[in-house]
Structure 1
């Protein structure tokens, strides 16, 4: 049992104000790899669903017409920043690419804040509900500080002062702006395969219902997804709770960090250039370079 909590013991010796990147890396790569990846998938799904942001994505066609590539590009840019931070060359290049992609669009500061809020709050809440243990205060603080630094480097302002304040702001914005819209429904239909691919093969026949069960009522209304049968929702909840208990009682810390052998995606099974990720029209020299 002591080994199971070895990463947590080490995290508690760190200072989240200084070591936020190391703590967040440990959460993603060693402590909660499956849950963090799924939580980030759910976060991006939600961030694409408020009407203003959904309209931008439908307008570009990136999520509805080039779905797999857009999903892979987004994940690669995010994971490059997490794995390398913002000071190492690959992390700096990924951040530069993110800014190039977004600069042509007149996106309000609050919408940017909402996207970062999804990345901070949604995975944390998933861990609080279904992780093999609760994220500690150091981990919540480190998550908040990682995305606050990302926001600062993207020129995003008016960040709340703590995870708790950001959570309150996020819930208010989410309640006011996550409303039913056709663009969000189109994106959800196109991107559903991302979550379907995370469902174990024996449960594939129940895939659509299980994906819908991962959404809360507000997200289902926004994306015009029918609520799954009560039995599917209850069954998913029980299975995830059982999984957490088994991991807590019998699991051991991962010896191999997530992405230790590189990041592999369907679009890029071998290698990729960070500068080539994202829409072609936003690349340097394309005529719409940032």
Structure 2
């Protein structure tokens, strides 16, 4: 076989593999969409087939049962404040560690990096006990927890990229009369756009979809539940005699739609941002 023939065969094989991977990846989403438009009996009888009629009644009913608009507002507030806290604190912390060029800065950075390896389960009970004693088992406490647990990865990403930012830019800003905050937010921070978007998307997806921390911190508080908690407790109250599939599938669908839209618009920044933070170290 000629070189050109082998090249075409390799390309065809690669395309076939990519098609299989794409089908494998998209199959759960298609399965979710199909079953979001079916009744409970139709889901049980033919779970993998398309719905006989595309009615939005199940999605509307599910949105009402999980108090969608109230829950999405609470989840949105928690996610936005937590992500803003993470971006501000981690970018400033990483910048100070890089520019300090001291043993303390290196030790702190290694500490943040090592913290990524500590499983949450090992800290769960003592941390919750501490937060209960100081009165932080509420939304502010939940935001504070997210800020703490997301800090290590965010600092790691920022630290790697800030090393590639020329220090001469900061020195020029100082000569022009900028103070330390002006120097960071007007000179350094705009250069961190790719890494910042990556930190926002990765932490935003985690916080938006998280179930464990909201369940442990705010639990079954009346009127104060995230989307994942509303989905869980709606299932409990509706599924005494089996799984209410006509609630679960459409509720999951409306829950993931906002974060999927965010991911679609910002996906091009994710790989680039991770590469910037990981390679330029």
For normalisation by structure 2, the TM-score amounts to 0.25
Structure with a larger share of its residues in helix? 2
Choose 1 or 2 for highest CA Rg: 2
